[in-house]
């Protein structure tokens, strides 16, 4: 089981969640977190674990730092939620959303997790 996660309000302050341009606030917040807080190789490993439905690994990353749920690959913009959505891992997608994964973050091609889910 993935541990209970922080509510979205703990990850994104109120002023960012209410921003008129939520996508910009979300992706810029994630890019800042990824570059200054978490090593990119670990972010990529989290994304791969989500793509491969390795729930134990995902749980380990989230126990290490709950910000992993909101990180994006700086080159591609891929997020854990996008990777799980693309692979069709519905239970993991729900767990990531419950942990506060931003559903409206976009990658470098302008695609969000919903786009990946419907393309799967």
Which of 15-24, 31-40, 105-114 shows the lowest mean pLDDT across its residues? 15-24
Question: Of 80, 67, 87, which Cα lies nearest the Cα of 107?
Answer: 80
Q: State phi, psi for 21 to the nearest 5 degrees.
A: -120, 75
pLDDT in tens, 96-113: 999 999 999 999 999 999
57: left (phi over 0), alpha (psi -120 to 50) or beta: alpha
Q: How far apart are CA 113 and CA 85, in angstroms?
A: 6
Residue listed under structure tokens 């591609």: 76
pLDDT in tens, 53-84: 999 999 999 999 999 999 999 999 999 999 99
Q: Which residue has the higher pLDDT, 21 or 112?
A: 112
């Amino acid at each position: 089981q993935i541990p209970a996660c922080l509510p979205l309000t703990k990850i994104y302050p109120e002023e960012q969640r209410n921003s008129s341009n939520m996508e910009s606030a979300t992706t810029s917040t994630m890019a800042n977190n990824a570059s200054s807080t978490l090593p990119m190789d670990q972010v990529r490993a989290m994304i791969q674990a989500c793509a491969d439905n390795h729930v134990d690994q995902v749980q380990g990353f989230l126990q290490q730092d709950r910000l992993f749920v909101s990180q994006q690959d700086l080159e591609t913009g891929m997020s854990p939620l996008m990777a799980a959505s693309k692979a069709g891992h519905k239970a993991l997608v729900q767990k990531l959303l419950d942990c506060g994964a931003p559903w409206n973050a976009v990658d470098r091609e302008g695609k969000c997790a919903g786009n990946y889910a419907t393309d799967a």
